[in-house]
Chain A
Amino acid sequence: MSKQFQFKLVLLGESAVGKSSLVLRFVKDQFDDYRESTIGAAFLTQTVTLEDQTSVKFEIWDTAGQERYKSLAPMYYRNANCAVVVYDITQAASLEKARSWIRELQRQADPSIVIALCGNKLDLAARRQVTEEEAKKYAEEEGLMWGETSAKTGEGVSEIFTAIAKKLPLTAPPSARGAGRPGPSSRTGVDLTKQANAEQASLLPPVKRSRFHNATITVLPGVLSRHSLAIPSVVPFAYLPRTSLVVYLSFTFF
Chain B
Amino acid sequence: MQVIVLGTGLTECILSGLLSVEGKKVLHMDRNDYYGGDSASLNLTQLYRKFRPDQSPVAELGRDRDYALDLIPKFIIASGELTRILVHTDVTRYLEFKQIAGSFVYRDGRISKVPSTEMEAVRSPLMGLFEKRRAKKFFEFLQSWRDDDPATHQGIDLDKDTMKDIYEKFGLEPGTQDFIGHAMALYLDDDYKTKTAREAYERIILYTSSMARYGKSPYIYPLYGLGELPQSFARLSAIYGGTYMLDKPIDEIVTDADGQFTGVRSGGETVKAKQVIGDPSYFGAGESADGGKVRVIEEGKVVRAICILKHTIPGTDDSDSVQIIIPQNQVGRRNDIYIAMVSSTHNVCAKDVYIAIVSTIVETDRPEQEIIPGLQLLGPIYDKFVSVSSLYTPTANGVSDNIFITRSYDATSHFETVVEEVQDVWKRVMGGKELVLKKREVEVEA
Contacts and interface: CB of A to CB of B under 8 A. Distances in A.
Interface in A55-81: 64-66, 68-71, 73-76, 78
B84 A252 contact: no
A20 to B, nearest CB: 12
Interface residues of B, number: 77
B116 interface: yes
A243 B212 contact: yes
Contact of B135 (A42, A73, A251): A251
A247 B446 contact: no
A203 B120 CA distance: 11
Contacts of B59: none
Contacts of B213: 194-197, 241
Interface in B40-73: 65
Given A73-B35, A240-B79, A241-B209, A189 B446 contact: no
B212 A249 contact: no
B339 to A, nearest CB: 22
Interface in B106-146: 115-119, 121-122, 127, 129, 132-133, 135-136, 139-140, 142-144
A42 B444 CA distance: 10
Given A70-B246, A231-B437, A75 B235 contact: yes
A236 B220 CA distance: 18
B352 interface: no
A197 to B, nearest CB: 6
B94 A75 contact: yes
A193 B87 contact: yes
B252 interface: no
Contacts of B443: 40-44
Contacts of B435: 233
Interface stretch (A116-124, A146-154, A165-173, A210-218): A210-218
B115 A248 contact: yes
Interface stretch (B160-168, B226-234, B355-363): B226-234
B83 A197 contact: no
B445 A45 contact: yes
A34 interface: no
Nearest to A208: B118
B214 A73 contact: no
Contacts of B211: 244, 247
Contact of B206 (A45, A192, A240, A246): A240
A15 to B, nearest CB: 12
A64 B234 CA distance: 10
Interface residues of A, number: 72
Given A27-B446, A75-B94, A204 B246 contact: no
A40 B20 CA distance: 10
Nearest to B201: A237
A65 B127 contact: no
B396 interface: no
B121 A192 contact: no
Given A69-B245, A184-B92, A200 B238 contact: no
B293 interface: no
A154 B223 CA distance: 38
Contacts of A214: 143-144
A189 B239 contact: no
B250 interface: no
Interface string B400-419: 00000000000000000000
Contact of A73 (B83, B84, B231): B231
A126 interface: no
Interface stretch (B95-103, B277-285, B296-304, B373-381): B95-103
B328 interface: no
12 contacts: A42-B239, A47-B446, A65-B238, A192-B92, A215-B143, A225-B87, A233-B423, A241-B209, A247-B115, A248-B208, A252-B136, A253-B121
Q: Sort A-B residue pairs by CB-CB distance and give the 9 closest, nearest first.
A: A244-B212, A243-B212, A71-B244, A64-B238, A251-B132, A73-B231, A240-B209, A244-B208, A69-B245
Interface of B: 33-35, 65, 79-81, 83-84, 86-88, 90, 92-94, 96-99, 115-119, 121-122, 127, 129, 132-133, 135-136, 139-140, 142-144, 202, 205-206, 208-209, 211-215, 220, 223-224, 228, 231-232, 234-235, 238-241, 243-248, 423, 434-437, 439, 441, 443-446
